[in-house]
Every structure is written in structure tokens, then in C-alpha cells.
Chains A and B, each alone.
Chain A
Amino acid sequence: MTLSCERVFTLLSEYLDGELPSDIQAAFDKHIGGCTRCARFGQEFAQVVQSLRASERPVMPDALRTRLRELARSSPAKAQTDS
């Protein structure tokens, strides 16, 4: 099986997420191994996604957590009134 550059382009996310069937993944690897342009594009694509995954998570404010816990203790009727 061979893949065109266009097909590789559409499969990048599934490749990165490890969701490609083994035969397509092998064809993908083969293409990337021989196509500098796709290899570079794919590397940049992966770097951007990995950068997003590595970003810091915000911390939920304690005051909000407290309000939510109080909300959960209230009855559905009170939640209706409070919102």
C-alpha cells in the first residue's frame, strides 16, 4: 500500500493518536521516511499538539469549589431558585 502526500496530510491526527490500522500506519511510516516535506510538516504538527498537551493547567479557585459543594448540598428546587 502506498499513500499520497494528500492522504498523509489527512491522517496526521489519527497517526499521532495511534488510531491507524497497522497496515495504514506502516504505509504512513514508509511515506514519511521518503518524503522530506511530509516528514517536516508532520514533525511540526506533532510539536504543536504536544506543546498544547504540555501546557500548564489552571487551578480552579477555592471559592468556586466551595460554591459548587454548597450547590450540591442544596435541593434541585433550591438550585433552580439560585441560578
Chain B
Amino acid sequence: MTAIQLPGKAKQINWKEIGYGVGSAVASILIAVLIGALLLLGSGRNPLEAYQSLLYGAFGTLGRFTETLVKATPFLIMAIAVSVSFRCQVWNIGVEGQFMLGAIFSTWVALTFVSLPPVILVPLTMIAAIIGGALWSGIAGALKAYLNANEVITTSMLNYIAFYLVSFLVSGPMMDPEGYNFPQSKIIPDSLHLPRLIAGTRLNAAFLVALALVVVALFFWRSTVGFRTKVVGASRRVAHYAGLDVKRTFILVSLITGGLAGIAGWGEIFGIHFRLIEEISRGMGSLAMVVALLGELNPIGMIVSSFLFAALVVGGNAMERSAGVPFALVDVIQGIVILLILARSYFFRRKSS
């Protein structure tokens, strides 16, 4: 179990461990895809045709390939966010809500301080996103630390509240007065849009932010705070006797998780949508958890898994359009992958132990 491995001893690379991780991840996805195929067969659809359109949809052209990278961006950032809490055994399932708060705060700052020069305003919007996400997550963290409130319930409730908050804002206080009553905010000025990496595609600088955050995460796990997070995750009791402040660590990891999820919301607004809309985050939170778990909560692993799931999502949308196969197939695959990843030690390692 990498999640509860005490830090510090894995100095040299353990190839066997990596091979096991990659092998079982691939096996999990294959089994999930196979079960999906059986479901399609059972309902009289052609699974080969469905998966073919899925693959083509994700990789078929340069444009589609960049769309996959575009989707991988928020998945990767949010998965890093999830991994910080999960490594601490804090089960924050609220990155979706934190993402939305990041989107709200940053859009509001951009539209309110529109007269500031972009050099100042762009970093400001990002800071606002971090604050928004961190606040939302910090609520759950503080309630867990001081009042023992189960974070799974509080964060899932905060997801629903955040959704209605966005919906309220874009059809009320933040609604575009010239938007013909569409539930959306005013559009953000061009000068604040994140630069595109390849002209003619939607791939933008947020992708680079995501990669930069992977590097930050790698350093984080080698830092004192990262170490503390892992110790508290491995055992509350050990951490307590070692003199670590467990409650403060809960709040700290919650703030980090929320702040990162907020950045993902910022990237979607300033890189893709350029305005706050109701459906800004549909289902990204649960996907981010799958990506994090499939990547073994490891920053490098999550690059791979975020890319895989982005391909599934982009391809899944294309599959729904061209082959008429419901996108919900992708959700089913997600759920099966989580369960298989969890149960793999039961299937694969029983004999050796």
C-alpha cells in the first residue's frame, strides 16, 4: 500500500513496485472496458464500433488530441489536489465544489477590477481562485478537525451547495445583462485570456500550469509539510505521539486541496470558457478522484492516468455523438476502475503474502 507507506525509505526506485502498479492499473482499465462492452452487447449495440469511435474521438486528429490534453489539464490539477488529502487519509470528495468556488472568485475579480492592467490582474484572479477553493475546503477541514464532522458528508453537501451557488450567481447577481437571460456571467476581456499553445486549438497555458504543479507536488512530498502529511496519514496515533498537530494538519491539507482545485476552476474559466456558466464542472470531481487513485496518488502516475481519463471523456463524448452510445458508459468504467484498483491486492497478492 503506497498510501500508508512511511516516507523516507524508498530512496531507490523499486521497479517491481512500479511494474505492479502499472500492470494492475492497465488490467483494471481493460476489465472495465470489457464489462462496458458486455453491457453494450447485451443491449444489442456493437461495442467495437463504440470503442472505435471513442478512440478516434480522443486521438483521431491533432485537434482531437489537443482536446484530450485540454481535458487532462483540470483532471491533473484536481487529482493532485485530491492526492494531498487522500495521502493524509482525509477523504475530501469536494474538489468539484472547490473548483466551482475557484471559478466564481476568479471570474468575480476579473469582472470587478477590469480596469487594472492584465499583468496585475491575471495573477490576482489566480490568487482569488486559490482563496475561493481553499475557503470552501477549509470549512470541511475545520469542521473535521474541531467538531469531528465526517468530511465525506460535509464535502459532498458542499458540492451541492456550490452548484446551486453558481446557478444562483449566473442567473442573478452575476448574470450578463446583455446575455438575453442566458444563465451566464459577462465575458472576460480578451487581454485576460490565457495564451494558446497551438494556434487554432483550445490548448492553453493552463496545461503548463498543470505540469508545473506536478513538479511542485514532487517537491512538496519531499518537504517537511509533505512528510508531516504522510505521517498523519499513516497513523494518527504515531503522529500525535511524535508531537505533530494532527488537527492543524487536517486543516492545512484541506486548504491545499481546495486551493489547487480552485486553480483548476481558474484554468477552465480563463483558458476555455471565458465566463462563468452553470455547467462549468459537471462530474469532474469524481473523475479527479479516479485519476488520483489510478495514478496511485503519485504525481507522475497521475500525469498518465489524467491523460487516459481525458481520452475516455473526450472520446466518450464523440462516441455519444457519432455512435449514439450514452456517455454514462464512461462513468461506469470509472466506477469499475476504482473498485478494481482497490480490490487488486485481494486478487493479485493473496498468494504471496
Chains A and B are bound partners: no
Which residues of A pack against B, CB within 8 Å?
Answer: none
Which residues of B pack against A, CB within 8 Å?
Answer: none
